[in-house]
Amino acid sequence: MNTKYEEIIGEIQSRLNDERLKSGEKLPSIRRVAKEFSCSINTVLKAYSELEKAHLIYSVPKSGYFAVGTDKPKKRTQMKIDFVSAGPDKTRMPYRDYQHCMNQAIELYKEEMFQYSHPLGLVSLRHQLSAQLQDLQVFAPPERIAVVSGSQQALDLLISLPFPNHKKEICVEQPTHFSFIDSITSRGLKPVGIERNQKGIDLNYLEKVFRERSIKFFYTVSRFQNPTGCSYSNQEKKHMVELAQKYDVYIIEDDYMGDLDTRKKADPMFAYDPSGRVIYTKSFSKILLPGLRLGLAVLPEEIMKVFTQAKFAADVHTPVLTQGALEIYLSSGMFKAHIEKLRRQYKKKGTILKKAYLEYLPPNAAFTGGDSGFYSTVVLPSRMKAKNLAEYLKKKNVLVQDASGMYLPEYREENRIRLSVSQVDGRKIEVGVRKIGDGIRALI
């Protein structure tokens, strides 16, 4: 499918959503759009015809295309600026391409798509993943790759598995991805926390923890961390891997958004020790379609057997049809083209966000991250509670997340909010951040 076609549809939808194109207003001419998107007139006609079928626009012979609108006043909820939702930008999700790949997978593999399958995933997909991971500097044979039902499943399973180092404790960054905290605390475990902020992590303290505690693994999100949005430098990553080797600790590197990194020289931790010391997990939720629940883990040979048993016990295997479609999506080159587009689009959002932070946040507030076009946090003045600011902003139609739930109880900070800009249109990012800045000034 033509990717320009999708881009045009996405762009018009986004203009309709944020009312840059109002009801009855004329759309840009076919010729102009073809020039703007460097594509053929036919592609624009096809995109406009699709929008017409969806009743979003209508055509007037010899006049052009016009936006359909409702005369009803918009509900207030539609005006909300939502910095809480953290799924991918809905206008950029390639669900039509994926639908095509699902159909292709059925054509190609027939009943195999509906049979029981291998707990670690389709062999042909694992081969494709092994090749595709090389673009991320992850060199692993298909036999060490497990396809999982979202990377969360791999993280959840790894918590309970016995590791070759026979150690029991888990070390996590503070704050961290709240689903991982849920996975640990739901098992009654008490992990060791280590603070992570804009400056990184205290490597001396990490060494002390590795040396003095019985750490089975250190869970880290090496780039675009959730919630801080921060990434480690190559030097920091290398140092942490060396510490893990020295003290016989495993690292679980959650690289859920590695594909969106535009820094060509940024390595994953896995690249510094591909032997299995670093367990690498990757998600397709932020870059593809989160509802598919597709992810992978690159595991050490020593735990392949127990992991396979645990995966089988959890859900037998990840649904086969979505795996077959992913294989086709990867092998056809659609994935690469999609990622290249996404990188540009999300980077643009990140740039707008950081500019807005610098312009509108008061001097007694600070921000972390923001590069990925997904997560970042705002550190509020120390006496201000994130909960109160979130409530105040809700009344102003700006939704932000109180980040206190992203900490273990004993490390909790109550003056951080998390913002995700993935589903917020560029223009609204600025408006929203201005309101956040005003809110902080009003509540202090």
Binding flag, residue 370, ligand PLP (CB under 6 A): no
Binding flag, residue 177, ligand PLP (CB under 6 A): yes
Binding flag, residue 377, ligand PLP (CB under 6 A): no
Nearest residue (CB) to ligand PLP, 290 versus 381? 290
Q: Which stretch binds ligand PLP (CB under 6 A): 15-23, 54-62, 144-152, 353-361?
A: 144-152
Binding flag, residue 151, ligand PLP (CB under 6 A): yes
Q: Which stretch binds ligand PLP (CB under 6 A): 52-60, 146-154, 205-213, 306-314?
A: 146-154
Nearest residue (CB) to ligand PLP, 21 versus 287? 287
Q: Give the nearest distance from C-beta 196 to ligand PLP in angstroms.
A: 12
Binding flag, residue 423, ligand PLP (CB under 6 A): no
Residue of 210, 232, 250, 256 that binds ligand PLP (CB under 6 A): 256
Q: Give the nearest distance from C-beta 32 to ligand PLP in angstroms.
A: 38
Binding flag, residue 285, ligand PLP (CB under 6 A): yes
Task: Write out the binding residues for ligand PLP, residues 49-88 only, by CB under 6 A.
Answer: 86
Nearest residue (CB) to ligand PLP, 45 versus 339? 339
Binding flag, residue 295, ligand PLP (CB under 6 A): yes
Residue of 117, 283, 322, 372 that binds ligand PLP (CB under 6 A): 283
Structural tokens at position 293: 């629940």
Residue of 12, 101, 194, 221 that binds ligand PLP (CB under 6 A): 221
Q: Give the nearest distance from C-beta 216 to ligand PLP in angstroms.
A: 19
Q: Give the nearest distance from C-beta 152 to ligand PLP in angstroms.
A: 3
Binding flag, residue 415, ligand PLP (CB under 6 A): no
Q: Which stretch binds ligand PLP (CB under 6 A): 75-83, 149-157, 210-218, 272-280?
A: 149-157
Binding flag, residue 290, ligand PLP (CB under 6 A): yes
Dist CA 101 CA 311 (whole Å): 26
Dist CA 104 CA 191 (whole Å): 45
Q: Which stretch binds ligand PLP (CB under 6 A): 234-242, 283-291, 342-350, 394-402?
A: 283-291
Task: Write out the binding residues for ligand PLP, residues 102-141 only, by CB under 6 A.
Answer: none
Judged by the rule CB under 6 A, the positions of this chain that interact with ligand PLP are 86, 150-152, 177, 221, 226, 254, 256, 283, 285, 290, 295
